[in-house]
Amino acid sequence: MKDSEPDYRFTLANERTYLAYVRTALALDGAGLAVVQFLTKVGNQRGRAIVATLLVLGGLGTILAGFARWRSVQAAMRHGEPLPHSWIPLALTAIIGIGSLAAAIALALR
């Protein structure tokens, strides 16, 4: 099918979704940095470093996956194809859920 410019409303909605991924990535990065900087009395230094690293890597993965998602949706709209399936919400749920569980356990053992 011939490439065509999608309706600007769909393009802007796709961009807003990408920006939500950017905000989520920044929040994960901030959480990782906060674990190292402010939770000095919770757990040990190695455990905090592991949790912080996982959160920051989750932020990196989120921004990369969000960009890939934005590009694939934009390409699908331009070609008049169905939108691609996304695994990103499941991955974010797992990352944030595991981080929350680790934080809850660390606080409970404090």
Q: pLDDT digit string (tens) for 62-84?
A: 999 999 999 999 999 999 899 99
pTM over 0.85: no
Instruction: Please report where in the chains the tokens 């949790």 appear, as a residue.
Output: 51
- Checking if the pLDDT of 5 tops 70, the result is yes
CA pair distance 91, 105, nearest whole angstrom: 21
